[in-house]
């Protein structure tokens, strides 16, 4: 069984959730042999590249509002006290508490690279070191020098050179988009197959969830990626959809399903010239494609070519009256 933990390493509940997953696995013999894989999530995607002390960050009204949203009914100070008590009960102490508002981007790169380099065991060891550094040692985990030291301590000596390069950049950004496409909205979220459990639930709840397992529907990777792209378009993230679509455009650029999604992405990101080129080619290759004609008509309208657009829209609605 593969257990995916979608989480942010600057999220206190991710560390608490890690401990609870470990207890769940220890307490249920039938889960022996399960492997845990960490996937990226960002709870603070606009954290500055240069970390700032948390005490200073908390004086920012926007940060304060975000913290209140995470714990309705509690002030940020009250929420910190509550989380500290929960962490202590999980054996995370005696010192507890982050000291920096830090970007977790490079830490997520490190976790991805660790998985590629040494598999789930190395990645899990790196996750423990990064979380401990941030929450127990008060370290700034946005610093690549610190991450390099943590990696060396885990025997991942190649990490330093990789972190100084762009290794893992594209893959982490794609994984973040994949999580969004799969409706991961909480750190941590535990995923097994086609089932997800949001939040750092109790070890008992986690164990019951894991024992039930989950079967992900078998499908080609290309089809799965197409579905993620469609999900992002439905969530009004056309640029994210185009990012995930790029490998399919490179390898399957003649497929009409790929071309339709690309056209939607271009249209909704105001790349109208590109949308027009794709749709014109689609209509030429498949004259009976009513949806392509509908999109071509709307694209032509937005390009200021209203008469041509109306022609395409009339043809589309004649083929598919539901488009009226």
Least confident of 71-75, 133-137, 226-230, 266-270: 71-75
Residue 152 CA to residue 110 CA, distance in Å, equals: 12
pLDDT attached to residue 158: 95
Structural domain count, the chain: 2
β-pairing, 2-7 with 189-192?
antiparallel
* Domain final position from 192, 212, 232: 212
Q: What does pLDDT average to over the chain? A: 93
pLDDT band at 62 (very low <50, low <70, confident <90, very high): confident
CA 258 to chain centre: 22
Residues 189 and 262 in one domain: no
Residues 274 and 312 in one domain: yes
The H or E element spanning position 251 is helix 238-252
CATH of the domain at 274: 1.25.40.10
Kindly list the strands in the beta sheet with 2-7, ordered across the sheet, starting from the edge strand earlier in the chain: 35-40, 2-7, 189-192, 195-198
The conformation of residue 202, written as its DSSP 8-state character, comes to: -
The pLDDT of residue 67 is above 70:
no
Examine residue 188 and say whether the peptide bond preceding it is cis (omega within 30 degrees of 0). yes
Strand, helix or coil for residue 35: strand
Residues 8 and 151 in one domain: yes
The pLDDT of residue 232 is above 80:
yes
Residues 68 and 190 in one domain: yes
Residues 231 and 181 in one domain: no
* Domain final position from 182, 212, 242: 212
pLDDT band at 55 (very low <50, low <70, confident <90, very high): confident
pLDDT tens by residue, 198-210: 999 999 999 999 9
CATH of the domain at 128: 3.40.30.10
Look up the domain containing 161 and give its range.
2-212
Residues 87 and 157 in one domain: yes
Residues 235 and 310 in one domain: yes
């Amino acid at each position: 069984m593969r257990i995916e933990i979608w989480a942010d390493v600057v999220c206190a509940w991710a560390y608490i959730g890690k401990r609870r997953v470990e207890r769940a696995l220890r307490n249920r013999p039938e889960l022996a042999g399960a492997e845990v894989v960490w996937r990226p999530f960002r709870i603070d995607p606009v954290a500055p590249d240069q970390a700032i002390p948390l005490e200073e960050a908390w004086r920012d009204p926007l940060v304060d509002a975000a913290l209140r949203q995470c714990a309705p009914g509690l002030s940020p100070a009250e929420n910190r006290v509550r989380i500290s008590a929960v962490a202590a009960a999980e054996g995370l102490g005696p010192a507890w508490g982050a000291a920096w508002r830090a970007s977790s981007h490079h830490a997520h790169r490190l976790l991805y690279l660790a998985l590629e380099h040494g598999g789930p065991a190395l990645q899990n060891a790196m996750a423990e070191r990064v979380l401990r550094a941030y929450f127990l040692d008060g370290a700034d985990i946005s610093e690549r020098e610190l991450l390099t030291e943590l990696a060396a301590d885990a025997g991942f000596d190649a990490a330093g050179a990789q972190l100084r390069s762009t290794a893992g950049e594209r893959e982490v950004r794609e994984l973040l988009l994949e999580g969004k496409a799969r409706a991961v909205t909480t750190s941590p979220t535990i995923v097994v197959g086609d089932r997800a459990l949001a939040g750092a639930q109790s070890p008992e709840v986690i164990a019951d969830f894991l024992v039930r397992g989950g079967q992900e529907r078998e499908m080609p990777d290309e089809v799965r990626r197409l579905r993620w792209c469609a999900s992002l378009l439905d969530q009004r993230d056309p640029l994210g959809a185009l990012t995930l679509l790029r490998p399919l455009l490179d390898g399957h650029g003649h497929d009409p399903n790929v071309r339709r999604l690309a056209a939607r992405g271009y249209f909704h990101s105001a790349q109208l010239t590109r949308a027009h080129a794709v749709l014109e080619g689609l209509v030429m290759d498949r004259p009976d494609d009513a949806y392509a004609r509908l999109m071509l008509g709307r694209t032509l309208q937005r390009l200021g070519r209203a008469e041509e657009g109306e022609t395409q829209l009339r043809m589309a609605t004649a083929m598919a009256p539901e488009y009226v």
